[in-house]
A and B are shown apart, each in its own frame.
Chain A
Amino acid sequence: MSSLVRVQNLSKYFPVTAGLLHRLIGTIKAVDDVTLNIDRGEILGVVGESGCGKSTLARLILRLIEPTSGSIFFNNQNICQLDKLQLRQLRRRMQMVFQDPYSALDPRYSTFRSLAEIYKIQKVDIDYQELKDRIAKLLLTVGLKPEHSNVYPHQLSGGQKQRVVIARALALTPEFVILDEPTAALDVSVQAQVILLLQQLRDKFNLTYLFISHDLALVDYFCNRAVVMYLGRVVEILPANKVSSTPRHPYTKALADSVFVADPAARKETVPIEGEVPSPFDLPNGCVFEARCPYARNVCRETAPTLDEVGDGEYVACYFPLINPS
């Protein structure tokens, strides 16, 4: 399988300034030296706790924000070198669904106008009748009715709003869609509807997804591979179904062990990991997870481990992985 998206040594540092003269007092490494690839037709999950850089990574890949260093290839084309016009054309092929459908839609725009805006921005040359037909078809595709084109966001439920946001992302038949916690604001019964819809759409339009979530069980179910991030760095990339069964990185294991399964027979007797994610401000040189890691030794404090390939498409950044490479 060929890669649709390739990310190489991508970093984004935010400067932290203080005082009247905005003196630089440090940097926050929101995304630090991330390398990964997304195969065509794959659903790649990105998991991690708040502040680990999941959403910054998504915005970087679409070049909604400029990287500090590193490069992003889409179809073997380095998108960091594109000018504004080229980038706009490329955006037709890569879209994003944002976390909160309540704030992703303009409250003063009807569904029709929200969707029509995409065609206008991208200067798609179609007449009004065709636009209407396309939007009606689009609404049917995401499980809404053509009548929904005349309603405003406040008249829609959370799940319906998210369907409109998904329709908007699909309007220009993209190849690649980033889903940034698409179900975090929804109830469980509606979450399942949206997940099933996304699965259906992927099969129908041959889409590639980058799926960002903090829900490990959802990533396990929905994704092919999972990228585990901690404080801006990728600590492990592994097949999604191995996250709970055979993780290599101690953080992946701690994360998987922290998930409560909806089954009283699977109760946990001990707390898997103590402490909290430290502030990302001026991190030490060593491994990012060192302070909370039960296996940390001196070498972990001195230099950060590199992300090494340990299997087919599997990577881990740890000196003492839980499973040794076979």
Chain B
Amino acid sequence: MPLLQVESLRVRFKMEEGYVEPLDGVSFEIEPGEVMGLVGETGSGKSVTAQAIMGLLPFINGEVTEGRIIFMGKDLLSFSEEQWQKYRGAKLSLISQNPMTSLDPVYRVGDQIVEGMLLHLNISRSEARQQAMDLMASLHIPNPAGVYYQYPHQLSGGLKQRIVIAMGLCAGPNLLIADEPTTALDVTVQAQIIALFKEAAIQRGIGLLLITHDLGVIAQICDKVAIMYAGTVVEFGDVVSIFNNPRHFYTKALLQCVPKLGMQKGILRAIPGNVPSVQTFPDGCRFHPRCSGVEPICRLQKPANIHLENGINVACVKYASHLKGSA
């Protein structure tokens, strides 16, 4: 049984001028101990997906209109606020984008880790302090006993991000969601933090959902990847298979946009047009205005999510014949 299963998730927000749908057709699965990457450009709905999984959609105007989110056999969408209090931060936790703003500047960093432990684990403060220091040591924070008593402004960017990861892991979650965890960091520090995530996922056997716009990071540590475009997962499956043999036109085009070290001159390609904003998502396939293989039907009809034989899912009409074959 997968740890987390997201099935054709659809989310809408009520705005002054009517409804917008930042998510329409998001499906993927994560197994325990697996690192899954969720990659997409600005406004593709990566962070809204994370919010929906964590039950953190703005309750005033946001709602899930379709789909299911199953976590360890439980339907998260049916959870009451009391149930969420037991799960959120304990069984599944979220590391949000910027380490500088995730920490409270007036509390010692160690106490910020302990806070989560006291809330979710039935232990005393001194036990929690010891566990926090152990956790910090396991995340390669030098001199945990000293760093524990420091304030966020005394730490470097990389150390702050390690503290934030410790906060995410403090109650021993089964699923960790990290939203752009390395975007604010320099490359040499990014390499250290990414290695740390991989180590933490393997050692603890937890599922890690890594949200990023960086295809290099995905290729480096993920087992599976879901490619998002304009609120839809267009392709999902094994990372090696998708990078070596992308099936969706967007995935193909996206991989050609990224310069690689040692790349031959003159082979960089751009995708024409702009990333649509949520108010201007086109009808039919949302990628059709920028797609090089567009057909008349793409303008009218949203493509179904097609399961190919090797565990790859792709939402493109070009593969519709596979749909008939499997049905």
Chain A interfacial positions (CB closer than 8 Å to B): 49-50, 157-160, 187-193, 195-196, 214-218, 220-222, 241, 243-245, 254-268, 270-274, 276-277
The yes or no answer to B206 lying at the interface (CB within 8 A) is no
Nearest chain B residue, comparing its CB with the CB of A186: B42
Interface-centre pick from B190, B194, B195, B275 (highest chain A CB count, 10 A):
B275
Known: A260-B214, A262-B258. A220 touches B275 (CB 8 A): no
Known: A221-B263, A241-B262. A261 touches B216 (CB 8 A): yes
Nearest chain B residue, comparing its CB with the CB of A242: B262
The yes or no answer to B257 lying at the interface (CB within 8 A) is yes
B interface majority secondary structure: helix
User: Are B275 and A258 in contact (CB-based, < 8 A)?
Assistant: no
Measured CB to CB, the closest approach of chain A to B184, in angstroms, equals 10
The yes or no answer to B265 lying at the interface (CB within 8 A) is yes
**A148–B220 CA distance with the chains assembled, in angstroms:** 41
A interface majority secondary structure: helix
Report B154-174 residues with CB < 8 Å from chain A CB. 156-159
Pick 26 A–B contacts, CB within 8 A, sort by A: A160-B274, A188-B215, A189-B271, A190-B270, A192-B257, A192-B268, A192-B271, A195-B259, A217-B259, A218-B259, A243-B261, A254-B188, A256-B261, A257-B191, A258-B187, A260-B190, A260-B194, A260-B217, A262-B218, A262-B260, A264-B219, A266-B219, A271-B195, A272-B191, A273-B191, A276-B186
User: Are A190 and B274 in contact (CB-based, < 8 A)?
Assistant: yes
User: Are B268 and A196 in contact (CB-based, < 8 A)?
Assistant: yes
The yes or no answer to B115 lying at the interface (CB within 8 A) is no
User: Are A188 and B254 in contact (CB-based, < 8 A)?
Assistant: yes
Q: A193-B271, A262-B243 are in contact. List 19 more A-B contacts (CB 8 A).
A: A50-B186, A188-B215, A188-B254, A189-B270, A192-B271, A217-B258, A222-B259, A258-B190, A258-B191, A260-B219, A262-B255, A262-B260, A264-B219, A267-B220, A267-B221, A268-B220, A272-B188, A273-B191, A276-B156
Interface-centre pick from B187, B189, B263 (highest chain A CB count, 10 A):
B187
**A196–B159 CA distance with the chains assembled, in angstroms:** 37
User: Are A244 and B190 in contact (CB-based, < 8 A)?
Assistant: no
Measured CB to CB, the closest approach of chain B to A163, in angstroms, equals 11
Nearest chain A residue, comparing its CB with the CB of B250: A189
The yes or no answer to B306 lying at the interface (CB within 8 A) is no
Inside 8 A of A256's CB, which chain B residues have their CB?
261
Interface-centre pick from A50, A262, A265 (highest chain B CB count, 10 A):
A262
User: Are B192 and A274 in contact (CB-based, < 8 A)?
Assistant: yes
The yes or no answer to B41 lying at the interface (CB within 8 A) is yes
Nearest chain A residue, comparing its CB with the CB of B241: A264
Of A160, A192, A218, A270, which is within 8 A of B270 by CB?
A192
Nearest chain A residue, comparing its CB with the CB of B257: A192
**A215–B263 CA distance with the chains assembled, in angstroms:** 14
Inside 8 A of B286's CB, which chain A residues have their CB?
none
